[in-house]
Amino acid sequence: MRRRGLVLLWVAALLAVLLPPAQAQRVVVLKAWTIGPDNPSVTRYNNLVGAAERLNADLRREGAGLQVKVEGFFDTTNWDSYLRRVLLGFQSNEGPDIVQANGSLNATWAEGGFIIPLDGYIPQYKQFADVVPSLWDAMKYKGKIWAVPQDTEARPLYFNKVLLKQLGWTDAQIAALPDRMAKGDFTWDDVMATAREAVQKRVIEAGKGYYHRPVNGPDFIQWYRSFGGRIFDDATGKLVINKAALLRYYTWLRTGVDAGVIEKDRLNNDWNRFMQPVTDGKVLFFSGGTWQWAEWAQQWVNNKGGEEWLFANFGYGPHPTYVKGGKAITMSNPQAYFVSAKSANKDLAVRLLAYTTTPEFDAKHAVGSAHLPVLKTTARTINNKFLKEVSYLLNYTTFAPAHPDLSKWQDAVYRGLSAVESGQVAPQQGVDLVVSEMQRTIRDQVIVE
Amino acid sequence: MPLLPPRWRLTLIVLAALCVPIASGVVWLFLTGTFDRVHGLIPVRSPSLDNWRFLWQSVGGRPPVHVAIVNSLVFAVLVASLEVVIASMAAYAISRMSFPGRRLYLGFVLVLHAFPAVSLIIAIFYILRLLGLFDTLTGVILVKAALELPLGIWLMKGFFDTLSWEMEMAALVDGMSRWRLFWKVAMPLVRPGLLALGTFALLSAWGEFILPYTLIVSSQRTLMSSYLQTFLTEGYSDFGMVAAVGVVYALPVVAIFLVGQRYLLNIYGGGVKG
Amino acid sequence: MAHEAVLVERAPAHPRRRGSHYLMPALFLTPATILILLFFLLPVITTIGLSLTDISTLTFRQPKWVGVANYRELLGDPFLGKIMANTARYVFLTLLFNVGMGLLLALLTTSVRERYGGQVRALWLLPRILPPVVYVFIWQGLTLEAPFGLVSDVLGVSRNWISASPWTVIILANGMVGASFGMLIFTSAIRAIPPDLFYAAAVDGATTLQTVRRVVLPLLRWPIMFVTAYQTLSLLTSFEYILLLTNGGPGFYTTTVWALHAYQLALQNYFGNVQFGLGAAMAAVLVVIGIVVSFLYLRIFNFRALVAEPKVEVN
């Protein structure tokens, strides 16, 4: 009896020495909502999970007694439904802690009180110092920084090299095209003329001369700018709509439709009607984004040779301007991680974001989804052919202005564009409609010139 | 018609032709799910199990499919049960009881039956948020059951109307309470109606798209309709896999349909004999 | 004994029984009443209420009262006419298909052996009971370009038919769902016609077509009117299949109908910039039309007539 008791005591003592102290490990759940909608961008979510592992290792080392668990989703549907979920999530008590979305939403969401400014946190983490400075500027509104840049991209004008060759261009001419676009030597008129020629010579079908995105989006700002318009007045901080530039843009599109170069119903249909003809090699010029390169390589042309096929068939350059000698243009619409104002774990959330903003995860996302990296280190060390070739586009890039009514500006321009392109109204009428809608919804925050 | 027209064989051929579109659609779905791509209705690749991988792994950051299936099942069963019980109770009262305002209530239900409930979705969204039931299965269940009520009450009233008074009198004289009478005597006698309504409500809830699409945002509470729809919106449409998901989603419907056609065909003719 | 029981039941109520006379019905009716109040009455009032505010993404928590500003904005929209024209076209053409096909199917399936007729009716019920997302996906698959799309293969012309003729697809897709309603109601009505009329017509030497025109159709007058009226209202407010098939496109408001536009304004925007109040205003118009028309139905149609013996009138 006593012997058994002694044995038990020994065993207990042994266990007490050998087992690590039972620490009350609190698990903090961080809810993160992310979106592509392109499938390759799933790293936007996975990187957070990976960063959490690193963070947990450090937390264990620090003996903090807590671990972080990332829960949430990666949305592959579309921006409409995602943003609806996010906005409702901000207003409920079960909303997300971290939200990834367009950085340009910072103004609207800051005004709505949905997010917190991060200026206090940024100096605390050395990872943030590595971010390209212009991206921090893109996150600023009213002097404060509202989000952590997640990625950036450029939006080139792609062209189909094989079709140009069929049109009679030499290899040298094709190779020189991006440069000509950059220098302002190949303007929108030249694009139209080339496309017209291609339709007439039956190198392409009618309507496949120029493709642009089928739904609303940030890109329309860059095209409006490429026709000479400005969108933001630094002095007053108001939005601007330049009637002459808008008219030029709408007229160019309408001319294209009338000439059989652009499809009348190019807008308001689904992405498959953009991707399929483009990757079938049937479209001559198409405006897109660098991330589509990854989508095409991984999903659309993966059984035709993937990236090799793309390099052989597609070329890219910055978007031309409307006047010879003008400066070429592209647009970057950086994605960013926001922290919700209702989050109960703001400090931890920002720390997680710091762990995500490292070259390891940055490169993984950039290479995997053909977005551009946000860190200076990554940009220096990355070894991906496509990314290297398009990085010069950043010299021509522009950003969307930070203004809470920006989306109303964009909606008005998009509606006018839809009406003009589909033949509902003439370009001048379209411009008038846009102006009156802006004056009605944005009122005094828009300057009409 | 009691007398078959002389050229009924021709009629049969015309009918067969009219059935071709629907039949080809269903066949196309099953073929695409199995063979990945079909030209018209001719498979062009060998059957691949790859299309069905959504069954055992999460695809592209979506929640696992069993979450959606379970949610849809719970939703459908609860809606159907609530529907059958609540509609029957109300229909029994309208049909078998006299109380002031009875005609008004019936008229009201009939008006609601014709009323387009879907136009209220914007306000329902707002109300659920106020009630704190937004983004909950409970909320959507209540809304769906409510919106189907007018049809349910109309249908069940038709069935209750056909019950004989004598039997009820006898039971009441024997001292049975109305409540017990309802459950023990009346309900069993209207089984065909209950089955018709229950089947219809079950199927209607299983396929419900616009309500969960608008009223549910979290992925843990997603239903099969929204789950399938996430494959169709932006991004690459992997037709084979989407069809496979579609097959899984439509399978219970087709199964119930094959087994319970009779009940369904009763849905608009409640109480009509012959 | 039974007689006495009847007399007792039907006599003017004894005070105690009068009390319980209301309790029982109340018990039975309460759950339904609560749901109807919450999700029919309250939303009707709320729709109209929301339409009088400027509620949107940013003002969700503090909407401001703006009176009829939303309605004025609607009327000032240059494209409202197009949306109304789309709605009229949608309702009219789909109704034609619904009633026409429903009638055709009812007549044909009752002209063959019940075994076959029942099967055909059951098959035509399938579009209605298939989940809308699956049903639309099937349509998308069948209307692809050749060689994938069956329609393109059969017609020999390769198009993405949803983009090429969106209206045709929308009307057919909605029509195939809607036809089953008329089909079932007309079938019941045909089945309820006394056989003597058919025998009489046969004895008189009437052909099938004559029998249909002279015997069957006149007796279907009321059901046809009912189905037409009922489905007009329901089509006016339906948009789910259009949302899934084309979402109002392709192009600019090509297939946008009133109900869809209301939904888009209130709940769909690329930047999350929804205009809830404006959408509610459009919905409010539909709600008011719905209430008025529903009451009209109540006056014009005696719904009971459908579940009782039809009047026997032969011209």
Nearest CA in chain A to B218: A85
A278 is written with which tokens? 């483009």
Task: Return the ∠ at Cα C51 (arms to C46 and C53), rounded to 5°.
Answer: 100
Does residue B250 lie within any of the structural domains? no
Does residue B270 lie within any of the structural domains? no
d(CA C19, CA C31): 20
Cβ(C51)–Cβ(B158) under 8 Å? Answer: no
pLDDT at A12: 64
Residue recorded with tokens 């318009």? A229
- Model confidence at B28: pLDDT above 80: yes
Task: Return the ∠ at Cα A419 (arms to A418 and A421), rounded to 5°.
Answer: 65
Mean pLDDT, residues A193-215 taken together: 93
Q: How many cross-chain Cβ pairs, A to C, lie less than 8 Å apart?
A: 94
A95 is written with which tokens? 């909303």
d(CA B193, CA B157): 9
- Model confidence at A118: pLDDT above 90: yes
The widest CA-to-CA distance across chain B, in whole angstroms, is 72
A344 is written with which tokens? 């109960």
| B42 lies in the same domain as B73 | no
Cβ(C276)–Cβ(C284) under 8 Å? Answer: no
- Inter-chain residue contact C36 with B146, CB threshold 8 Å: yes
Tell which wins on pLDDT, B54 or A189. A189
Tell which wins on pLDDT, A24 or B271. A24
Render the burial of A325-338: b for 16+ CB within 10 Å, e for the rest. Answer: ebebbbbbbbbbbb
Tell which wins on pLDDT, A258 or C14. A258
Does residue B233 lie within any of the structural domains? no
- Model confidence at A9: pLDDT above 50: yes
Name the strand (E) or helix (H) holding C264.
Answer: helix C258-267
Does residue B41 lie within any of the structural domains? yes
Cβ(C250)–Cβ(A263) under 8 Å? Answer: no
Could you tell me where the DSSP H helices lie in A63-132? 79-91, 106-111
Q: DSSP letters along A348-372, please?
A: HHHHHHHHHSSHHHHHHHHHHHTPB
- Inter-chain residue contact A83 with C251, CB threshold 8 Å: no
Does residue B14 lie within any of the structural domains? yes
Q: DSSP letters along C71-108, please?
A: HHHHHH-TTHHHHHHHHHHHHHHHHHHHHHHHHHHHHH
Residue A145 carries which DSSP code?
Answer: E
Q: Report the domain count for chain B.
A: 2
Mean pLDDT, residues B12-31 taken together: 91
- State the average pLDDT for chain B: 83
Long-range pairs for B164-168: beta carbons < 8 A, 24 or more residues apart: B166/C2, B168/B96
| Sequence letter at residue C304 | R
| B107 lies in the same domain as B203 | yes
B125 is written with which tokens? 């969204």
Q: Which residues of C touch A445 (CB under 8 A)?
A: none
CATH 2.40.110.10, domain C80-260, yes or no:
no
> Which residues sit opposite A446 in a β-bridge?
A239
Query: C177 CB near a chain B CB, below 8 Å?
Result: no
- What digits encode the pLDDT tens for the residues B83-137? 999 999 999 998 888 888 887 888 788 778 777 777 788 788 888 888 888 888 9
- State the average pLDDT for chain A: 90
Name the strand (E) or helix (H) holding A71.
Answer: strand A66-75
Q: What is the predicted ipTM?
A: 0.84
| B75 lies in the same domain as B139 | yes
pLDDT at C1: 38
Query: Quick one: residue C251, left, alpha or beta (phi over 0 = left, psi -120 to 50 = alpha)?
Result: left
Helix, strand, coil content of chain A in percent (nearest 5) = 50, 15, 30
- Inter-chain residue contact A91 with C60, CB threshold 8 Å: yes
Q: DSSP letters along A21-38, please?
A: P----EEEEEEEEEE-SS
Q: How do beta strands A285-287 and A210-211 pair?
A: parallel
Please name the member of B63, B129, B237 whose beta carbon is closest to the beta carbon of A73: B63
| B41 lies in the same domain as B80 | no
- Model confidence at B234: pLDDT above 60: no
Nearest CA in chain B to A215: B234
Name the strand (E) or helix (H) holding B16.
Answer: helix B8-35
| B18 lies in the same domain as B117 | no
The alpha-carbon radius of gyration of chain A (Å, integer) is 26
> Helices C69-76 & C276-300, crossing angle to 10 degrees?
90
| Sequence letter at residue A139 | M
How many CB atoms neighbour CB A194 within 10 A?
A: 21
| B199 lies in the same domain as B117 | yes
Does residue B181 lie within any of the structural domains? yes
| Sequence letter at residue C299 | R
Please name the member of A273, A425, A440 whose beta carbon is closest to the beta carbon of C160: A273
- Inter-chain residue contact B121 with C263, CB threshold 8 Å: yes
What domains does chain A contain, in order, with CATH numbers? 26-152+334-398 (3.40.190.10), 157-331+405-448 (3.40.190.10)
Does residue B207 lie within any of the structural domains? yes
Neighbours of C, requiring at least 3 CB pairs below 8 Å, are: A, B
d(CA B274, CA C10): 33
Q: Of C214, C207, C188, whose CA–CA distance to C310 is shortest?
A: C188
* Interacting residues of C82 by C-beta distance below 8 A, sequence separation 6+: A424, C253, C256
- Model confidence at A1: pLDDT above 60: no
Q: Of A108, A44, A92, whose CA–CA distance to A336 is shortest?
A: A44
d(CA A96, CA A92): 9
d(CA A8, CA B89): 67
Per the structure, the complete domain to which residue B16 belongs is given by 8-47
pLDDT at B267: 61
Chain centroid to Cα B70, Å, comes to 16
> Which residues sit opposite A70 in a β-bridge?
A30
- In chain C, which stretches have pLDDT less than 70? 1-21, 57-58, 60-61, 301-315
Query: Quick one: residue A443, left, alpha or beta (phi over 0 = left, psi -120 to 50 = alpha)?
Result: left
- Counting every residue written for chain C, the total comes to 315
pLDDT at A52: 95
The lowest-confidence range among A62-71, A211-220, B213-222 is B213-222
C287 is written with which tokens? 């709600």
- Inter-chain residue contact A39 with B235, CB threshold 8 Å: yes
- What digits encode the pLDDT tens for the residues C98-146? 999 999 999 988 888 888 888 898 899 899 989 999 999 999 889 887 7
Neighbours of B, requiring at least 3 CB pairs below 8 Å, are: A, C
pLDDT at A325: 87
Name residues 18-57 of chain C within 8 A of A (Cβ): 57
Q: Of B187, B201, B189, whose CA–CA distance to B256 is shortest?
A: B201
| B81 lies in the same domain as B188 | yes
Cβ(B1)–Cβ(B8) under 8 Å? Answer: no
| B135 lies in the same domain as B177 | yes
Name the strand (E) or helix (H) holding C231.
Answer: helix C221-237
Tell which wins on pLDDT, A339 or C278. A339
- Inter-chain residue contact B62 with A94, CB threshold 8 Å: no
Query: A273 CB near a chain C CB, below 8 Å?
Result: yes
Residue recorded with tokens 């220096």? A380
- Inter-chain residue contact B60 with A89, CB threshold 8 Å: no
- What digits encode the pLDDT tens for the residues A20-34? 554 557 899 999 999
The lowest-confidence range among A4-18, B16-30, C113-127 is A4-18
Q: DSSP letters along B27-40, please?
A: HHHHHHHHHS-EET
| B14 lies in the same domain as B120 | no
Cβ(B236)–Cβ(A299) under 8 Å? Answer: yes
- Model confidence at B215: pLDDT above 60: yes
Please name the member of C33, C112, C130 whose beta carbon is closest to the beta carbon of B250: C130
Please name the member of B26, B173, B179 whose beta carbon is closest to the beta carbon of C5: B173
> Which residues sit opposite A337 in a β-bridge?
A100, A148
- What digits encode the pLDDT tens for the residues A273-287? 888 899 999 999 999
Which one of A93, A268, A282, A428 would you mutate to disrupt binding with C, by most C Cβ within 10 Å of its Cβ? A268
3-state secondary structure of A228: coil
pLDDT at A381: 87
| B14 lies in the same domain as B148 | no
| B73 lies in the same domain as B172 | yes
* Interacting residues of C40 by C-beta distance below 8 A, sequence separation 6+: B112, B115, B117, B120, B146
Name the strand (E) or helix (H) holding C289.
Answer: helix C276-300
pLDDT at B111: 77
Q: What is the pTM of this model?
A: 0.83
Neighbours of A, requiring at least 3 CB pairs below 8 Å, are: B, C
d(CA B58, CA B60): 7
Which one of C59, C136, C252, C275 would you mutate to disrupt binding with A, by most A Cβ within 10 Å of its Cβ? C252
Which one of C60, C137, C162, C271 would you mutate to disrupt binding with A, by most A Cβ within 10 Å of its Cβ? C271
- Model confidence at A191: pLDDT above 90: yes
Please name the member of A273, A410, A411 whose beta carbon is closest to the beta carbon of C163: A273
Query: A58 CB near a chain C CB, below 8 Å?
Result: no
Where in chain C are the domains? 80-260
Mean pLDDT, residues A398-425 taken together: 90
| Residue C139 CB-density burial (10 A; 0-12 exposed, 13-18 middle, 19+ buried) | buried
Q: Give the whole-number percent of chain A exceeding pLDDT 70.
A: 96
A237 is written with which tokens? 């901080």
Distance from CA of C280 to the nearest CA of B (A): 7
* Beta-carbon-side half-sphere exposure of residue A81 (alpha carbons within 13 Å): 22
- Inter-chain residue contact B61 with A73, CB threshold 8 Å: yes
The lowest-confidence range among A107-111, A196-200, C13-17, C140-144 is C13-17
d(CA A63, CA A67): 10
Mean pLDDT, residues B168-175 taken together: 83
pLDDT band at B32 (very low <50, low <70, confident <90, very high): confident
| B28 lies in the same domain as B153 | no
Could you tell me where the DSSP H helices lie in chain B? 8-35, 65-96, 102-114, 121-131, 137-161, 165-173, 178-180, 187-189, 191-207, 210-215, 224-232, 239-265
Does residue B20 lie within any of the structural domains? yes
